[in-house]
Copies of this chain bind each other. A is one copy, B any other.
Amino acid sequence: MKFTTSVRVRYAETDQMGVVYHGNYFSWFEVGRVEMLRSLGFSYAELESEGCVLPVLEARCRYRRPARYDDLLGVETVVETVRGSVLVFSYAVWKEAVLLAEGETKHLVVDRTMRRTRLPERYQAALLRTLG
């Protein structure tokens, strides 16, 4: 299952090359991830308030075409893996029908003391459901 949300490119996100600074795509991936979770019925903020944090173990992005100031982009998020304490999400950033970038983040589920834990059952179930 793909979930799509949109972001509008901010001036602050551009650099002097006249395109979006490559490091800023990771904030959009975060927006995609969080909005997907919301569409499943919870917020990441709730999850944290239940003592569950999802630090990033690995992040990557391949840039195909530049995103530019004021572009209205679609950020597509897919749950790739839910296994034990590890979650993998993938992302695609579109400008209309043109693919601008693709990426992936791998997360560890930890508690507030940074010890490995599992997602609360209902989050886990919801993410698994998106795997189809």
Contact = CB atoms under 8 A, between A and B. Distances in A.
Interface stretch (A11-19, A86-94, A122-130): A11-19
A3 interface: no
Interface residues of A, number: 38
Total identical chains: 4
A6 to B, nearest CB: 12
B16 A11 contact: yes
21 contacts: A10-B31, A11-B15, A11-B16, A11-B21, A11-B27, A12-B15, A12-B21, A12-B23, A12-B30, A16-B18, A16-B19, A16-B69, A19-B55, A22-B105, A23-B30, A23-B59, A34-B70, A55-B66, A57-B63, A58-B63, A59-B60
